[in-house]
């Protein structure tokens, strides 16, 4: 790996819309001489939209899509096709040497299905040698979270999980989750100032002990719990920091990386 710090970025929500992506790509281009990047994307909302056009009804269990064989075709078409190539072209337009990949390409990451009845899976192995080779030679991997089992069964893997596995395998210096959430939010009533109403405030930083404390206090709940627990796992594998925040326009990436916005998780 070259001596530039490696940053893995996973996007979702409004950050995946064309205008926000273009702005983010410009920021990444401006600092590409200082950092190496790996870019991971999902696209569940678009998969659901296209599935319904084909008469397929998406089903979820505990917030996880249970991918049928018919829907897996749509997942590949939307994530590894339409979205991946749209993002790759946009990066190329902004002067970034993007290279679009799925988990299946070069065995980038392989997985295991949650059960025989579904094509939804979890990451089991990452080919970090391939990622290092691409970054070393000036490419920015743009990765969709579709993959396969070693036996050939196609898999739909949660993009958050794919990003965590990729960042931990290298390991990356920084892993950034960009979505519509400005960070790990602490409702005003949890503060000692006596506030009972008001907007939740994003915690600026948390360590392992702080995460346990906020889970026990009921500040971190629901789907954020597995995300922060997975973040701790990535940190224990060598990732220096995990950042959770939103992208609101030019300058947001710098603000996230410098700690001016979002929540930074460290050991």
Give domain limits for the chain. Answer: 6-265
Whether this model's pTM surpasses 0.95: no
Which single residue is written with the structure tokens 């994307």?
41
**Do 1 and 134 meet the contact criterion of CB atoms below 8 Å apart?**
no
What pLDDT tens digit does each residue of the chain (267 aa) get?
678 999 999 999 888 888 999 999 999 999 999 999 999 999 999 999 999 999 999 999 888 899 999 999 999 999 999 999 999 999 999 999 999 999 999 999 999 999 999 999 999 999 999 999 999 999 999 999 999 999 999 999 999 999 999 999 999 999 999 999 999 998 766 555 554 556 788 999 999 999 999 999 889 988 888 889 889 999 999 999 999 999 999 999 999 999 999 999 998
Query: Residue 236 — left, alpha, or beta (φ > 0 → left; ψ -120 to 50 → alpha)?
Result: alpha
What's the rounded Cα separation, in Å, for the pair 25 and 30? 9
CATH architecture assignment, domain 6-265: 3-Layer(aba) Sandwich (3.40)
Q: E strands of the chain, at which residues?
A: 6-11, 36-41, 60-61, 64-65, 98-102, 109-113, 120-126, 140-144, 146-148, 154-157, 174-179, 185-186, 201-202, 205-206, 241-246, 263-265
Q: Residues 73, 74, 80, 85: is their CA dihedral positive or negative?
A: positive
CA distance 73 to 109: 19
Q: Residue 260 half-sphere exposure, CB side, CA atoms within 13 Å?
A: 8
Of 71, 75, 66, nearest in space to 120 by CA: 66
């Amino acid at each position: 790996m070259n001596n530039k710090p490696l940053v893995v970025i996973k996007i979702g929500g409004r950050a995946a819309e064309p205008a926000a992506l273009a702005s983010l790509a410009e920021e990444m281009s401006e600092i590409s001489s200082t950092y190496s990047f790996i870019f991971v994307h999902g696209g569940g909302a678009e998969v659901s939209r296209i599935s319904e056009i084909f008469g397929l009804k998406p089903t979820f269990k505990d917030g996880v899509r249970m991918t049928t064989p018919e829907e897996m075709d749509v997942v590949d078409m939307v994530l590894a096709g339409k979205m991946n190539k749209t993002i790759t072209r946009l990066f190329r337009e902004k002067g970034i040497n993007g290279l679009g990949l799925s988990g299946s390409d070069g065995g980038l990451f392989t997985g295991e299905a949650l059960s025989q009845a579904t094509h939804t899976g979890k990451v089991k192995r990452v080919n970090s040698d391939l990622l290092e080779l691409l970054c070393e030679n000036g490419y920015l991997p743009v990765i969709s979270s579709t993959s396969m089992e070693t036996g050939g069964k196609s898999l739909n893997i949660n993009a958050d999980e794919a990003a965590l596995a990729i960042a931990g395998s290298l390991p990356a210096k920084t892993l950034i989750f960009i979505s519509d959430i400005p960070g790990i939010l602490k409702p005003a009533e949890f503060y000692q100032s006596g506030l009972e109403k008001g907007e939740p405030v994003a915690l600026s930083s948390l360590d392992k002990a702080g995460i346990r404390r906020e889970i026990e206090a009921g500040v971190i709940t629901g789907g954020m719990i597995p995300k922060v627990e997975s973040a701790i796992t990535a940190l224990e594998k060598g990732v220096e920091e995990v950042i959770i925040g939103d992208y609101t326009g030019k300058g947001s990436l710098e603000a996230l990386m410098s700690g001016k916005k979002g929540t930074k998780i460290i050991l």
